[in-house]
Amino acid sequence: MDELSIASLDRIGYSYVEEGNPALRDISLEVRRGEWLALLGGNGSGKSTLAKHLNALLAPMQGACFISGMDSRDERNLWEIRKTISMVFQNPENQIVSTVVEDDTAFGPENLGLPPDEIENRVKKALDIAGLSDKAKSASYTLSGGQKQRLAIAGAIAMEPPCIVLDEPTAMLDPQGRGEVMALLEELHGHGITIIHITHRLEEIRKATRAVVLQAGRLIWDGLPEDLFKEPELTSWGLELPPIVSFWRRLRERGLCEDDVILTVEGLVNRLCR
């Protein structure tokens, strides 16, 4: 394992039930520091099960999972693994633990047993990055869905982990909330945080540096997001093309567009009016 690797999965397998289909089969994956990895797949393909291996909520039944070199099967590593990789889940409501925004963000650092001024600094910084500084004293329940999810992300980054795993963080949000969360992911990536972003919305992978696809518990594709959009089999993997990309693919089939994927209305209009 090289030292740039933050997570290293070596042929892992996992089953919830003794008989029947395993949730994960023979998955090998190396996630390097600084990557923004989009983890895609249809319903039930194993995305959340894989995510739970990354912060040792589950241990592999076959193979091994190393986080910053620490074997997740060794219980003595759990604490350090969870400091290395923070998790953010789908439903922001379930992740808020305090009635006041800044107390909620302080929850993680307090559990780390940090001194009060260090906690205060971290909370300030995390709320600032999440764009919630002006809400620090507000009641958590008054926030919008997008703001609540940004609060959950602020709580995760206040732990100052090198890596954050987000399991469909936009699934329960309206378009505005989704936009806010995606902008925040870009900001985090700019701060050097490794991002593992689980989604089944292909329009959310544009800024990722790498994409992998799971199908029926297997890792079936690994490459650059722009190449994934060209993949002919995509829709049979339970993934839906954004309308613009679908349009671009049809035009490309007829020789009306070049090979470079077009992802925005603006880009398509520019191409067609040229």
Give SS3 for 231: coil
The per-residue DSSP string of 47-96 comes to: HHHHHHHHTTSS--SEEEEEETTEETTSGGGHHHHHHHEEEE-S-GGGG-
Q: CB of 249 within 8 A of CB of 256?
A: no
Q: Does 178 bind ligand ATP (CB under 6 A)?
A: no
For 137, residues 6+ apart whose C-beta sits below 8 A from its C-beta are 100, 101, 102
CB of 42 to ligand ATP, least distance (A): 7
Which one-letter DSSP state was computed for residue 139? B
Could you say which of 27, 35, 48, 66 contacts ligand ATP (CB under 6 A)? 48
Binding mask 42-61 vs Mg ion (x if CB under 5 A, - otherwise)?
-----xx-------------
Which one-letter DSSP state was computed for residue 243? H
Q: Does 47 bind ligand ATP (CB under 6 A)?
A: yes
Stretch that binds ligand ATP, among 47-55, 78-86, 183-191, 228-236 (CB under 6 A): 47-55
CB of 98 to Mg ion, least distance (A): 26
Q: Which of 174, 178, 118, 171 is nearest to 150 (CA)?
A: 178
CB of 132 to ligand ATP, least distance (A): 27
- List binders of Mg ion among 174-233 (CB under 5 A): none
Q: Does 169 bind ligand ATP (CB under 6 A)?
A: no
Neighbours of 207 (CB within 10 A): 15
Q: Tell me the residue number closest to Mg ion, measured at CB.
A: 48
CB of 243 to ligand ATP, least distance (A): 21
Q: Does 199 bind ligand ATP (CB under 6 A)?
A: no
Q: Which residues bind Mg ion (CB under 5 A)?
A: 47-48
Q: Which residues bind ligand ATP (CB under 6 A)?
A: 16-17, 23, 41, 43-49, 200
